[in-house]
Structure 1
Amino acid sequence: MRLRAVPAVLATAVLLLTAGCSSGDGGPPGTDGSASPGDTATRSPSPGRSAEPTPPAKGSVKVVRTVAEGLNSPWGLAPVPGGDLLVSSRDEATITRVDPATGEKTELGEVPGVSPSGEGGLLGIALSPAYASDRMIYAYFTSASDNRVVRMIHDEDKPAGEQLGAPDTVFRGIPKGVIHNGGRIAFGPDRMLYVGTGESGDTGLSQDKESLGGKILRLTPEGEPAPGNPFPDSPVYSYGHRNVQGLAWDREQRLFASEFGQNTWDELNAIRPGGNYGWPQAEGRSDEGGFRNPVEQWRTDEASPSGIAHAEGSVWMAGLRGERLWRIPLKGTAASAEPQAFLEGEYGRLRTVVAAGDDRLWLVTSNTDGRGDPEDGDDRILELRVR
């Protein structure tokens, strides 16, 4: 493994380019950079099930192997029943199937209507809860006019490059911008679709409950506001966010989300339905009433978090600008020990992390996104064993 060295002149340039926006995300140099429908942050253990034990204060990470190399601007990752992985390319607007045993890559096809620019493009992907029967792939992408969620049939009987059916738009109208397009989507344990959005650089949208920007949305698989949402007839599940790119649930079906700060604090939040997470009035912890404080916070050069996953009693958080994987051990919705950093500088920018079993994670690097320092073989999918 090679540590990445950034020349002083380049480091200074990157610092100037990212000042005022810690997203560390996507754009080319020169851009600014089943859970119950009730209180998922405080849900009690299921009947007959013991509460999750407190994880040890100190953990460990071992890189088991490199699963795949040579990926261009990878963003979303979705494991397929049977073991293969689907990965989206932000800039090429393609979805590729990876055989984790051999690293062989097969392009399913290109998603039409994607308009890659800045931090936008083809972002998160997720499989339908009924994928085994309906073969539906959901995708979040930036179009010429907005950010939206579509679904497509995956037809494996067709030739490579032609396996994606025509996209059916499930949800549209999410504000787009050069920056802060959000993009993470995930089906929760309740089989509802959760969508992390950004405020597209317009900070006023985050506190506006009528806007879809700077929110976590909760939808039915058909794109309607999910039953039990906190605001009547609204898809909004939580608000006051700046740019949400990580969603994960713990064993007790509590939802956590990562969020980019601006100049001061990045956040990991425990999400409550109807909760206000403070942006733009609050960045990080705040004494102001009515805002929910983060579980943990980081200086923006240490994190700029994108994807998160839950494994072994901890949330694992991928850092872009921070170029490290954070472990946040949990007791309920509180941190039970100080966060630990792993892989610092070893693989560059880290975009997406997905649980791959009780003690395994898939980790996706992000060095070909226009802000990274690519090396031979970038970008990669890694398999990790964690504790």
Structure 2
Amino acid sequence: MKLAVAGDVATGIEIPWGLAFLPDKSALVAERDSGKIKRVQGSSVSDVGTVPGVDPSSEGGLLGLAVDPQYPQRPYVYAYYSSGDDNRIARLTYSNNRISSPQVILDGIPAAAIHNGGRLRFGPDGFLYAGTGDGADRPNSQDDNSLGGKILRITTDGKPAPGNPGNRLWFSKGHRNVQGLAFDGNQLYAAEFGQNTWDELNAITAGANYGWPGAEGISKIDGLVDPIAQWKTSDASPSGIAFAQGHIFMASLRGERLWAIPVAGGKRTGEPVAFFTGKYGRLRTVEAAPDGSLWLTTSNTDGRGDPKDGDDRILRVTISR
């Protein structure tokens, strides 16, 4: 498999985080610190509105976006963001290229300057999945009554999705900081920041415990689920992931590279391969585009990178065999 950057889709975006495609093949992009949502169509970038109540921090702000799978019959976009008190998920009306009528559907997700999680992804079951962080309070990840350190699975009204463990809002627990979610069919994968040693790619099953804070990386502890792949934190620090052509593609911040991990049925089928190492700086989000390419965002203006002229940008990446 070969990956090549075909050029910039857009430049001059401030800390792009969430990215979600609309049926017309344009995309909405969240700016973490400004709270703005921008629309990218062709080579043009326009503001469609600002999400109220966003309180940015070193890792918080306006984070994940997801478009309702029944759009435009249900003209909604969902946003995960940090407020002054917590992380929350809001449903926004999106029509005529503007967002309006924000309605918080879920609040009370632990927040801190770090470990806020933030990724949103609709599953093939029509429910909304959200990756959360432990809010810099490790016990949250194992506390069944906390929304921190979990993968949530909710209805579009913010209620527990049918079939969740114990009719709770969460689907899996024992996570440290999940910023990447992707589906291959019905199989969910999640990327997770480790502390000092191992970052993880996990295959997610309902009710499973992924070990944090008692385990980091492959631990072989009874009752805990080990990752299907792990990396030194200097090689990854993974944020967004996407599935395409039999691979999970994983954007890495500190590692400044895009990993391609071959998977099938919740298992890794080969060795991960790194692309673009050090070439574009910190990489935050990757999404499979309607034309079969990948859209890949940099995160060099987030206070931890070395911005280049035109940063931050969305790159278009082509895949070939």
Q: Which has the higher contact order (CA 8 A, sep 6+)?
A: 1
Shift of 1:213: 0.2
Quote the residue 1:242 is aligned against.
176
Shift of 1:359: 4.0
Within 1, Cα distance between the matches of 2:165 and 2:290? 32
Shift of 1:358: 7.3
Is residue 247 of structure 2 the alignment partner of residue 301 of structure 1?
Answer: no
Alignment of 1:305-324 (within 5 A): 305-324=238-257
Quote the residue 1:372 is aligned against.
305
Within 1, Cα distance between the matches of 2:132 and 2:319? 29
Within 2, Cα distance between the matches of 1:130 and 1:331? 28
Q: 1:113 aligns with which of 24, 32, 53?
A: 53
Q: 1:211 aligns with which of 142, 146, 156?
A: 146
Quote the residue 1:61 is aligned against.
3
Quote the residue 2:20 is aligned against.
78
Quote the residue 1:152 is aligned against.
92
Within 2, Cα distance between the matches of 1:207 and 1:367? 33
Within 1, Cα distance between the matches of 2:28 and 2:202? 27
Q: Which amino acid in 1 is paired with 2:152?
A: L
Quote the residue 1:4 is aligned against.
none
SS of 1:199 mapped into structure 2 = coil
Q: Which amino acid in 1 is paired with 2:215?
A: A
Quote the residue 1:361 is aligned against.
294
Within 2, Cα distance between the matches of 1:331 and 1:122? 32
Within 1, Cα distance between the matches of 2:14 and 2:291? 29
Shift of 1:331: 3.1
Return the index of the structure with the highest Cα Rg.
Answer: 1
Q: Which amino acid in 2 is paired with 1:279?
A: W
Shift of 1:134: 2.2
Q: 1:90 aligns with which of 17, 32, 46?
A: 32
User: Larger strand proportion, structure 1 or 2?
Assistant: 2
CA deviation vs aligned residue, 1:289-331 (integer Å, no higher than 9, x gap): 1000101000000000000000010100000000000000113
Give yes or no for contact 2:239–2:284 (8 Å, CA) kept in 1: yes
Within 2, Cα distance between the matches of 1:211 and 1:184? 18
Shift of 1:166: 2.5
Within 1, Cα distance between the matches of 2:265 and 2:290? 21
SS of 1:302 mapped into structure 2 = coil
Q: Which amino acid in 1 is paired with 2:67?
A: L
Within 2, Cα distance between the matches of 1:302 and 1:130? 38
Quote the residue 1:52 is aligned against.
none
Q: Which amino acid in 1 is paired with 2:194?
A: G
Q: TM-score, normalised by structure 1?
A: 0.81
Give yes or no for contact 2:25–2:290 (8 Å, CA) kept in 1: no
Q: Which amino acid in 2 is paired with 1:221?
A: T
Alignment of 1:272-311 (within 5 A): 272-311=205-244
Within 2, Cα distance between the matches of 1:332 and 1:171? 31
CA deviation vs aligned residue, 1:352-385 (integer Å, no higher than 9, x gap): 0011147421111110111010010001111111
Quote the residue 1:266 is aligned against.
199
The list of structure 1 runs, each at least 4 consecutive aligned residues, that deviate by more than 2 angstroms after superposition, is none
Q: Which runs of 5+ in 1 are unaligned?
A: 1-58, 158-162
Within 2, Cα distance between the matches of 1:287 and 1:226? 30
Shift of 1:335: 1.4
- Identity among equivalent positions (%) equals 55
Is residue 114 of structure 2 the alignment partner of residue 190 of structure 1?
Answer: no
Q: 1:339 aligns with which of 265, 272, 285?
A: 272
Is residue 281 of structure 2 the alignment partner of residue 348 of structure 1?
Answer: yes
Shift of 1:209: 1.0
SS of 1:206 mapped into structure 2 = helix
SS of 2:89 mapped into structure 1 = strand
Q: Which amino acid in 2 is paired with 1:117?
A: S
Decide whether aligned partners of structure 1 residues 207 and 311 sit closer, same or farther in structure 2, where only a CA change above 3 A counts. same
SS of 1:205 mapped into structure 2 = helix
Quote the residue 2:69 is aligned against.
129
Q: 1:230 aligns with which of 165, 174, 181?
A: 165
Within 2, Cα distance between the matches of 1:215 and 1:71? 29
Shift of 1:118: 1.9
Within 1, Cα distance between the matches of 2:270 and 2:95? 46
Quote the residue 1:30 is aligned against.
none
Give yes or no for contact 2:90–2:102 (8 Å, CA) kept in 1: yes
Q: Which runs of 5+ in 2 are unaligned?
A: none
Within 1, Cα distance between the matches of 2:73 and 2:47? 21
CA deviation vs aligned residue, 1:24-47 (integer Å, no higher than 9, x gap): xxxxxxxxxxxxxxxxxxxxxxxx
Within 1, Cα distance between the matches of 2:315 and 2:186? 26
Work out the number of aligned pairs and report it. 320
Decide whether aligned partners of structure 1 residues 192 and 365 sit closer, same or farther in structure 2, where only a CA change above 3 A counts. same
Within 2, Cα distance between the matches of 1:247 and 1:219? 15
